[in-house]
Amino acid sequence: MVQVRVAALGAEYILILADDRTEITRSEEIRNDFVANVSHELKTPVGAISLLAEAIDEAAEDEIAVRRFAQRMHKESGRLSALVQDIIELSRLQGADVVRRGKPVDINSVIAEAVDRNKLPAESKQIDIVVGGSVATPVYGDRELLLMTAFRNLIDNAIRYSPEGTRVGVGVRARDGLVEVSVTDQGSGITPEEQERIFERFYRIDAARSRQTGGTGLGLSIVKHVVSNHGGEVTVWSQAGQGSTFTVRLPEMEGAPDDGVGYVVPDGAAVTATDRAAQGTDRSSGKTDSAAVHEQGVKA
């Protein structure tokens, strides 16, 4: 939206003031939409906890019922805590700029930590997390914990939507000045229509299933913001019945100092990541890199 004001300055001149409020208006719309979504999402666990508290009060003499209601209350409070934490993290990320100064970050250790934090949920579903590949060149990092959170969310998402007794593959490689990390699951897949929206805040492919698995609907949105703020991009390849592969591409840090002193991220790093990723197509088959990585992950 552009506001224009015109005023006469004497007989020969006209003063024109143009105020482009497009970005301000867009930010306000995003903020209002975010608040509305948060309010809606908070109602469910808060309402459930309130009802469970009443149920416990009414069943005070029934020890078995009280224990059952208490377990459900604990589950809902955990969900509420996770939701609040994700909301806080996403709010911080949305106000952050692309990293312009950063320290070298070893993506191998970041992936190892993300895998370690997902061991318990994986073991509960008898899912193996298989990691393949490594890179010698670090990536640009602002806060190493943020990158770990992004990859932890991707692996957690793969575990939640994978059948029991399957495997989740994590592939790491360097190519064309980028570090690529792909997370592959053997779930039911994502339709093209859903792929266009999965990185939106609070979007869930299956809301009922998300409530059962404990998802907040913010995990992939956090991934997108973290990766974008580090000059990279995240893409998804999926087909119905064949699972999904999420691929993160981050600019390599060439000539990184060994002393850990801050290193300047070149302008256009994010553009470079996107442009180079667009070139990653197997001309003989027409398959994208993500599709090829997905097939390798399933066969591994």
List, for residues 164-213, the tens digit of each pLDDT value: 999 999 999 999 899 999 999 998 888 888 888 888 776 766 544 445 55
Residues 161, 159: Cα–Cα separation, whole Å: 6
Reported as a pLDDT band with limits 50, 70 and 90, residue 4 is confident
Residue 97 buriedness (CB in 10 A; 0-12 / 13-18 / 19+)? exposed
All domains of the chain, ordered by start, with CATH?
A: 22-94 (1.10.287.130), 101-299 (3.30.565.10)
Helical axes 219-229 vs 144-160, angle rounded to 10°: 150
Residue 83 buriedness (CB in 10 A; 0-12 / 13-18 / 19+)? buried
Residues 296, 292: Cα–Cα separation, whole Å: 6
- How far lies 156's CA from each of 135, 188, 213, 215, 249, in Å? 22, 16, 11, 9, 19
**What's the pLDDT score for residue 71?**
86
Reported as a pLDDT band with limits 50, 70 and 90, residue 33 is low
This model's pTM is above 0.75: no
